[in-house]
């Protein structure tokens, strides 16, 4: 009886679609993900990947780039036309430009070959957590912080009744911070949650976007009331909008 229970699929089991034409690699990922409690399905070419995504609605896709019948990049472009299913690219193409291009196409993370199966499982869990948090935030009609109102479903922000024009990354950065009010988030955490990767290039990417975001929503960007720097760690969103008692030590931010 206990042996039988071990192989019963748990309720609400999340499904991972592995898109990989190298059977050994596909089986390796499947073994580790199954051991971690995920249901796994495998597509060996791009056309089959789109068909399986359409019919089985996986919770996340592990996507190789070089595939028979339809290239992985074309698969991602096609899926992004109708779905926001999280996608992690796994590819032997490991230059910074390759990773940036993959993320710009709509991938949520990028892993280079050869890879550690344990890292793949960790990244899958991380991306799913981030996606679920974002989905939960998007279900709210609005978030109000004094004169600032965020409309997650509409990807829109108002200040004093007027629309604030934000880029997609600025909006997601603001939403990520504001849905965890008064909680300090490191630059690396913000990179992961907003840009979809653990670390790529200079973490000052976050600082630059924080700077432009403050110029758009703060009355005085030099003395921010909402988006505050936590010295040597990262940033937090102060839901009260109170002035700092001491000067913000982040240079230029």
**What pLDDT score does 2 carry?**
36
How far is it between the farthest Cα atoms of the chain? 66
Which pairs with CB-CB distance under 8 Å and at least 24 residues apart come from 243-251? 247/223, 248/223, 248/224, 250/207
- Bridge-based pairing of strands 143-145 and 148-151 is antiparallel
**Which phi and psi (to 5°) does residue 154 adopt?**
-100, -5
Which 3 state secondary structure label does DSSP give 189?
helix
- Bridge-based pairing of strands 87-91 and 60-64 is parallel
**What pLDDT score does 240 carry?**
86
| Torsion angle of C-alpha atoms 52, 58, 63, 69, degrees rounded to 10 | 10
Residue position matching structure tokens 């499947």: 30
**What pLDDT score does 3 carry?**
37
Residue position matching structure tokens 């991972």: 16
Q: What pLDDT tens digit does each residue of the chain (253 aa) get?
A: 333 333 344 446 899 999 999 999 999 999 999 999 999 999 999 999 999 999 999 999 999 999 999 999 999 988 888 888 899 999 888 777 777 777 777 788 888 888 899 999 998 998 888 777 766 666 667 889 999 999 988 889 999 999 999 988 899 899 989 888 888 888 877 876 777 654 455 567 888 899 999 999 999 999 999 999 998 788 999 988 776 544 444 444 4
- Domains, the chain: 2-136 (3.40.50.2300), 140-237 (1.10.10.10)
Distance CA 216, CA 224 (A): 11
Which 3 state secondary structure label does DSSP give 200?
coil
Structure tokens at 233: 């760690």
**What pLDDT score does 202 carry?**
58
């Amino acid at each position: 009886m206990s042996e039988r229970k071990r192989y019963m699929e748990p309720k609400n089991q999340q499904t991972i679609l592995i898109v990989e034409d190298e059977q050994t690699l596909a089986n390796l990922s499947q073994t580790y993900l199954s051991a971690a409690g995920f249901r796994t399905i495998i597509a060996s070419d791009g056309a089959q990947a789109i068909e399986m995504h359409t019919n089985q609605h996986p919770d996340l896709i592990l996507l190789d780039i070089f595939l028979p019948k339809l290239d992985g990049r074309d698969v991602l472009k096609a899926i992004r036309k109708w779905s926001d299913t999280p996608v992690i690219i796994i590819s032997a193409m490991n230059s910074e430009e390759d990773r940036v291009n993959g993320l710009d196409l709509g991938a949520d993370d990028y892993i280079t070959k050869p890879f550690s199966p344990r890292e793949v499982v960790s990244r899958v869990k991380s991306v799913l957590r981030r996606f679920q948090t974002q989905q939960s935030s998007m279900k709210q009609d609005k978030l109000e912080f004094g004169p600032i109102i965020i409309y997650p479903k509409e990807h829109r922000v108002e200040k004093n009744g007027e629309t604030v024009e934000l880029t997609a990354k600025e909006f997601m950065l603001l939403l990520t911070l504001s849905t965890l009010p008064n909680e300090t988030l490191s630059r690396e955490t913000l990179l992961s949650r907003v840009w979809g990767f653990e670390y790529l290039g200079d973490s000052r990417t976050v600082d630059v976007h924080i700077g432009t975001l403050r110029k758009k929503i703060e009355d005085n960007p030099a003395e921010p009331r909402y988006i505050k720097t936590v010295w040597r760690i990262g940033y937090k969103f102060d839901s009260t909008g109170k002035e700092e008692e001491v000067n913000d030590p982040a240079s230029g931010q």
